[in-house]
Amino acid sequence: MKKVFVASDHAGVKLKTLIHDHLIANYAVKDLGPFDTSSVDYPDFAKKVCGEVLKTPESVGILICGSGQGMAMTANKLKGIRAALCWDEPSAKLSRLHNDANVLCMGARLIPEGLAVLIAEKWLSTEFEGGRHQNRVKKIEE
Marked catalytic residue, from 10, 20, 50, 65: 65
Scored b (16 or more CB within 10 A) or e, 34-53 reads beeeeebebbebbbbbbebb
Is residue 50 flagged as an active site residue?
no
Q: Is 10 a catalytic residue?
A: no
Element (H, E) at 119: helix 113-125
Whole-number Å distance between alpha carbons of 82 and 79: 8
Q: Which residues does the annotation mark as catalytic?
A: 65, 98
